[in-house]
Amino acid sequence: MYPPQFDHETAESAEHAVELLETNDDRDVKVLAGGHSLIPMMKTGLATPDLLIDISRLSELSGIERTDDGFEIGATTNYAPVAKSDELHDEATAFAEAAENIGDRQVRNRGTVGGNIAHADPASDLPAALLAHGGSVTITGSDGDRTVDADEFFYGMYETDVGPAELVTSITVPAHGPNAVSTYEKDRSPASGYAIVGVAVVLEADDGTIVDAAVTANGAMDRPSRLSAVEEALEGSEATEAAVEAAAERAGESLNTAMMMSDQDASPEFREQKLKVYSKRALTRAVSQL
Ligand SMILES: Cc1cc2nc3c(=O)[nH]c(=O)nc-3n(C[C@H](O)[C@H](O)[C@H](O)COP(=O)(O)OP(=O)(O)OC[C@H]3O[C@@H](n4cnc5c(N)ncnc54)[C@H](O)[C@@H]3O)c2cc1C
């Protein structure tokens, strides 16, 4: 299906993109990044913008920079370089593994980190990994930049803290220290490749005891969610396979199962079971590396 006619403007800078968003605030405007969610939505009539502001070629927003405490990843950075980065695999493993698990090669070469986060599809892979790492999102508007923690960025299905005349310009992913490891495990929809559920884990241990645990999930709820009951069970427990298996059993406890996602891939009850299984897989792999 062809989308209805629309105008297209190429942004020359992030500032120019924000200017275009502001001056066209009376129109249905969408930012175009990798186009791998927006264009299918336009083709199926789910989105009918009359103006696209194209940021896909903005090199100023592309790249992975090692900072003092982690990584700053530009919004138009494609998934492929994230998935291939040795530094990210070593120091922010769950995030790199989440990128590695997105779609297929074509999607990873075209889709962007900023688009994945801004689009906030519940089944996307990067949001839970960003949350588990304690990351944040930098948003730019006419008043300049502001930074929002991942915990506060996602409001619900396709809803975030980004305002109508704002742009996600980068995300920050903290690196984990020498006593920490992280993993991402995903149950992939056989039809779309998206996560039926995905679980991201960051564990820190001291002398065989887990001192800090972040366990988060994609695909289960309308936004990336923290599996707090699992985190609580892990903190202070021994870093053993038996301990993480017992903790994983509590994966559904802190979520409102009545609000769990339900679609052709899995019912809420099946998703809850899958959450336990994929939490166990992610945690077992993590403790084996501690
Ligand atoms: C076949 C297929 C398989 C896929 N499988 C997966 C998968 O397994 N896992 C997964 O996570 N995703 C998957 N995706 C989706 C893909 O990751 C998309 O790239 C992603 O959801 C959106 O990123 P984008 O750069 O393509 O954004 P676009 O499609 O260009 O934009 C999506 C939305 O975000 C907005 N937006 C984009 N960039 C910004 C920005 N910088 N600031 C503010 N708003 C912005 C746009 O206005 C639009 O509303 C798949 C897509 C396809 C087509």
Residue-wise pLDDT for 47-89, tens only, equals 999 999 999 999 999 999 999 999 999 999 999 999 999 999 9
**129 and 145 fall within a common domain:** yes
Buried b (16+ CB within 10 A) or exposed e, 84-97: ebeebbebbbbbbb
Ligand 1 neighbours by CB, cut-off 6 Å: 30-38, 40, 75, 102-103, 107, 111-112, 114-116, 118-119, 121, 124-126, 162, 167-168, 192-194
Q: How many CA atoms lie within 13 A of 253 on its CB side?
A: 14
pLDDT exceeds 80 at position 5? yes
User: Which tens digit of pLDDT belongs to each residue from 121-138?
Assistant: 999 999 999 999 999 999
**68 and 162 fall within a common domain:** yes
Using CB atoms within 10 Å of the CB of residue 149, give its burial: 0 to 12 exposed, 13 to 18 middle, 19+ buried.
Answer: middle
**220 and 260 fall within a common domain:** yes
**190 and 147 fall within a common domain:** no
Centre of ligand 1 to C-alpha 179, Å, is 33
> Could you tell which of 10, 15, 29, 102 is best to mutate to test the pocket of ligand 1, judged by most ligand atoms within 8 Å of the CB?
102
**88 and 166 fall within a common domain:** yes
- Report the alpha-carbon distance of residue 287 to residue 224 in Å, rounded: 23
CATH label of the domain that carries residue 24: 3.30.43.10
- Which secondary structure element, helix H or strand E, spans residue 82, and what is its range? helix 79-84
Domain-embedded: residue 205: yes
CATH label of the domain that carries residue 117: 3.30.465.10
State what percent of residues in the chain have pLDDT above 90.
95
**72 and 92 fall within a common domain:** yes
**189 and 268 fall within a common domain:** yes
Domain-embedded: residue 124: yes
Distance of CA 264 to the CA centre of its chain: 22
pTM of the shown model: 0.96
The residue whose C-alpha atom lies closest to atom 43 belonging to ligand 1 is 167
Mean pLDDT of 227-235: 97
What domain range is 221 assigned to?
180-288
Q: Are 124 and 116 in contact (CB under 8 A)?
A: yes
pLDDT exceeds 80 at position 3? no
pLDDT exceeds 90 at position 12? yes
Domain-embedded: residue 2: no
- Report the alpha-carbon distance of residue 224 to residue 26 in Å, rounded: 31
Q: What is the pLDDT of residue 2?
A: 74
Q: What is the pLDDT of residue 105?
A: 95
Domain-embedded: residue 14: yes
Instruction: Show Cβ contacts of residue 255 under 8 Å, excluding neighbours closer than 6 positions.
Output: 217, 220, 221, 225, 227, 272, 275
Last residue of a domain, one of 174, 200, 235: 174
Q: At what angle do helices 241-248 and 268-289 cross, to 10 degrees?
A: 160
**191 and 231 fall within a common domain:** yes
**160 and 72 fall within a common domain:** yes
pLDDT exceeds 80 at position 20? yes
DSSP assignment, residue 106?
H
State what percent of residues in the chain have pLDDT above 70.
100
Q: What is the pLDDT of residue 67?
A: 97
> In the chain, how many domains are there?
3
Strand ordering across the sheet containing 209-218: 180-188, 195-206, 209-218, 225-226
Centre of ligand 1 to C-alpha 182, Å, is 24
CATH label of the domain that carries residue 188: 3.30.390.50
User: Which tens digit of pLDDT belongs to each residue from 235-279?
Assistant: 999 999 999 999 999 999 989 888 999 999 999 999 999 999 999
**144 and 242 fall within a common domain:** no
**21 and 84 fall within a common domain:** no
The residue whose C-alpha atom lies closest to atom 33 belonging to ligand 1 is 119
Q: Given 3-state DSSP classes, what are the helix, strand and coil percentages for the chain, each rounded to the nearest 5?
A: 35, 30, 35
**132 and 194 fall within a common domain:** no
**Average model confidence (pLDDT) for the chain?**
96
Last residue of a domain, one of 117, 142, 174: 174
Q: What is the pLDDT of residue 194?
A: 95
Domain-embedded: residue 1: no
| Phi, psi angle pair for 246, to nearest 5° | -65, -40
User: Which tens digit of pLDDT belongs to each residue from 153-196?
Assistant: 999 999 999 999 999 999 999 999 899 999 999 999 998 899 99
| Model confidence band, residue 10 (pLDDT cutoffs 50, 70, 90) | very high
Last residue of a domain, one of 125, 146, 174: 174
Domain-embedded: residue 23: yes
